[in-house]
Each structure stands twice: as structure tokens, then as C-alpha cells.
């Protein structure tokens, strides 16, 4: 049994208009996705802005009201609030946000920020609480003096580490990391990613790693799902996605990443042009009449791609 099983998750937002303000249409932010996260792994969810990746993350934490489908945590459907309480869900699932400045209360000290989840779930004395917060600060590599400082007194990387300390405070089993490093500089990004891996090794935490950065995802995740317009277009291991992408959207996304290797410059530009041309010519074959991706079809034990069956057979030839 996987730690998390998401089945046919749909999140639709109603669009109201007209005289009676009736629901006239809906935005399909997430439209029927399935994925399983195993204990102790980092699962990558990749997509461009507006693909529904953050909505998926929020639904898993319970910040989004889902339209239909189920999210099972250790076999229990947590879309039901009372069931969620039984498995201590709100304590075992935490979130790291993209923008560390807006996700930390500017008027609270670091001590109060990190202790907030502890105060919600564990009943510690003031002294015990302080000891625990100091421990957490040490895990993320911040000095004990940080306790009484305010968020604005830290750099971006340090703030993101405060966010991580808060997320690991309750010893969670799953952390939803929504673009945890995209606002950070390269050298700070390296620090934060190393921390995330370190606490994973120590505490066996699973991550749902939501990102648009395919370079970072390749560094962090063994299993990856590519999301486009609310549906998954390709799911597979790191090798499946990077070495053998089958969906045009995945290919285009991969071709667009700028590489640090100067000698491959011409080659990469050629390749990008070629894929862009292919995308313009054949994009409609990869999407249904509504412009959405087809259901996923299995092409290997680990690799799934959203294409009609006939086409997959052609592709694999």
C-alpha cells in the first residue's frame, strides 16, 4: 500500500454569470489525476503555471475543496474530515511554501512561528517547547539567537529554512513542497535542497515536490509526473521521463531548459526548433477535442503516457 493514493482527483471551479448569477461553466483546474506516493520517496509533480500542480498539492493538504475523487492516506480516505482526524492527518502532513516572506507572519518571532504547529498538536511546557524549537533550528542549521528574531531579519535562504523547520516540527510523514526553491539563488537553492534530502534520510519523510524546474526535479525525484491543463500527460521514473520522453509536451518542456554546457549551444537550438515545429504541426494529435490530454496508457512497467492506443504503438516502433 502506498503512503498516499490519489484516485481520479477533480477540482473544478464554477464560473457564475448572468442575471441570476447561475453557474454557467467551470474551470477544470484538476481534472482526473491518479498518483501514488510511496513512503520515504520524493515524488516530482511538474508543470507550467496554470497546469493545476499547486491545486493538486493544496487538495492533498486539505486546503482545497475537491469536486470528486479520493485521496487515501495509509488506506484512509482523508477527504472525509472525521476520518482525517483518526489518522492524525493534519499533524503528519505539512507544507513548505514557495514564498518564504509571505508564508511567515511578520509580527511573530521565530520561536512562535516554529512552535505554532507544536502548540496545536503537542502539549508541551514552555521549557520543553523551547528545547524542541532549538533542536529544530539546529536541524536546519540556524543559530540559537534566531529564536527571538523576526522573519525580516533573515535572508531568503534562511527564511526558507525556517519554513522547513516549521514543517518538520510535528515529525510529519509527508511534506508537500510547493516550489520550495524557485525564489532562491543558485547557491542558496543548493543549501535548501541538501537540507531537504538530509532530513529525508534522517526521518524517512516523503515529499510531494511541486516544481516547474526540471533540473531541480531531476536532482530530487525518482518518480515524476508531468501535468498539463489539469491532467497528467506523462508519468514515469526519472530515466523514463528524461531519457525517453514520449509525449510532445514533455519533449517540448525538456527542450526548453537552458543548459550550462556552451559547446552544445547550436545543437540545442536546432533541437528546440525541431521540437517546436513538431509541436505546432502535431499538437492536436496529442490532445482530445476539448484540447485536454488523453487518459494515461501504460507503455512499460513504470512508464505511462497520455496518448490514444494506436499512436503509442506507432511511437514505439
Partner 1 sequence: MEDGQELLELNDISTSFKIDGQYYDAISHINLTVKRDGILAIVGESGCGKSTLATTIMGLHDTDTTRISGQALFDGQDLLKLDDKSMNDIRGAKIGMIFQDPLSALNPLKRIADQISEGLDYHTTMTSDEKHARVMELLSQVGIVNPERTARQFPHELSGGMRQRVIIAIAIACKPDIIIADEPTTALDVTIQAQILDVLRGIQAENHAGIILITHDLGVVAETADEVAVMYAGEVVERGTTEQVFNNPQHPYTRSLLRSVPQGNQDVTHDDLYVIEGSVPSIERMPQTGDRFAPRIPWIPAEAHEENPSMHEVAPGHQVRCTCYQQFYFKSLEETNK
Q: In the complex, which residues of this chain contact partner 1 (CB under 8 A)?
A: 42, 48-49, 155-157, 185-191, 193-194, 197-198, 200-201, 212, 214-216, 218-222, 238, 242, 252-253, 255-263, 265, 268-269, 272
The DSSP string of 151-164 is GGGS-HHHHHHHHH
Q: Minimum distance from CB of 262 to partner 1 (Å)?
A: 4
What is the nearest approach in angstroms of partner 1 to the Cβ of residue 145?
A: 15
Contact (Cβ atoms closer than 8 angstroms) between residue 237 and residue 298:
no
- Least separation in angstroms between residue 31's CB and partner 1 is 20
Instruction: Cell 482526524: give the residue.
Output: 85
- Shortest CB 283 distance to partner 1, Å: 12
Least distance from partner 1 to the Cβ atom of residue 250, Å = 11
Nearer to partner 1, 7 or 268 (CB): 268
Q: Say if CB 173 and CB 92 are below 8 A apart.
A: yes
When the beta carbons of 97 and 249 are compared against partner 1, the nearer one is 249
Question: Between residues 78 and 227, which has the closer beta carbon with respect to partner 1?
Answer: 227
Of 43 and 73, which has the nearer Cβ to partner 1?
43
First to last CA, the chain: 34
C-alpha cell at 211: 516544481
Cell of 6: 490519489
Q: Max CA-CA distance within the chain?
A: 66
**C-alpha–C-alpha distance, residues 163 and 64, integer Å:** 21
Nearer to partner 1, 147 or 190 (CB): 190
Residue 156 near residue 183, CB atoms below 8 Å:
yes
Amino acid at each position: 500500500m502506498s503512503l498516499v493514493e490519489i484516485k481520479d482527483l477533480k477540482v473544478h471551479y464554477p464560473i457564475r454569470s448572468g442575471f441570476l448569477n447561475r453557474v454557467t461553466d467551470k474551470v477544470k483546474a484538476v481534472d482526473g489525476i491518479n498518483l501514488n506516493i510511496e513512503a520515504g520517496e520524493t515524488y516530482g509533480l511538474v508543470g507550467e503555471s496554470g497546469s493545476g500542480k499547486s491545486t493538486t498539492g493544496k487538495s492533498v493538504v486539505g486546503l482545497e475543496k475537491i469536486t470528486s475523487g479520493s485521496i487515501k492516506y495509509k488506506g484512509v480516505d482523508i477527504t472525509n474530515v472525521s476520518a482525517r482526524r483518526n489518522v492524525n492527518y493534519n499533524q503528519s502532513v505539512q507544507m513548505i511554501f514557495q514564498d518564504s516572506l509571505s508564508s511567515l507572519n511578520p509580527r511573530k518571532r521565530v520561536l512562535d512561528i516554529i512552535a505554532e504547529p507544536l502548540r496545536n498538536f503537542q502539549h508541551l511546557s514552555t521549557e520543553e517547547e523551547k528545547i524542541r524549537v532549538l533542536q529544530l533550528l539546529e536541524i536546519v542549521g540556524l543559530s540559537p539567537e534566531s529564536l527571538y528574531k523576526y522573519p525580516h531579519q533573515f535572508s531568503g535562504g534562511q527564511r526558507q529554512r525556517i519554513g522547513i523547520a516549521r514543517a518538520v516540527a510535528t515529525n510529519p510523514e509527508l511534506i508537500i513542497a510547493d516550489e520550495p526553491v524557485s525564489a532562491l539563488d543558485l547557491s542558496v537553492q543548493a543549501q535548501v535542497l541538501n537540507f531537504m534530502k538530509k532530513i529525508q534520510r534522517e526521518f524517512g519523510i516523503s515529499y510531494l515536490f511541486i516544481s516547474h524546474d526540471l533540473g531541480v526535479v531531476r536532482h530530487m525525484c525518482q518518480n515524476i509526473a508531468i501535468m498539463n491543463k489539469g491532467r497528467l500527460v506523462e508519468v514515469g521514473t526519472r530515466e523514463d521521463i528524461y531519457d525517453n520522453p514520449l509525449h510532445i509536451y514533455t519533449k517540448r518542456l525538456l527542450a526548453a531548459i537552458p543548459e550550462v554546457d556552451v559547446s552544445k549551444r547550436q545543437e540545442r537550438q536546432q533541437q528546440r526548433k525541431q521540437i517546436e515545429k513538431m509541436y505546432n504541426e502535431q499538437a492536436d494529435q496529442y490532445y482530445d477535442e476539448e484540447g485536454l490530454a488523453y487518459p494515461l496508457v501504460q507503455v512499460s512497467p513504470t512508464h505511462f503516457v497520455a496518448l490514444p492506443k494506436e499512436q503509442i504503438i506507432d511511437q514505439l516502433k
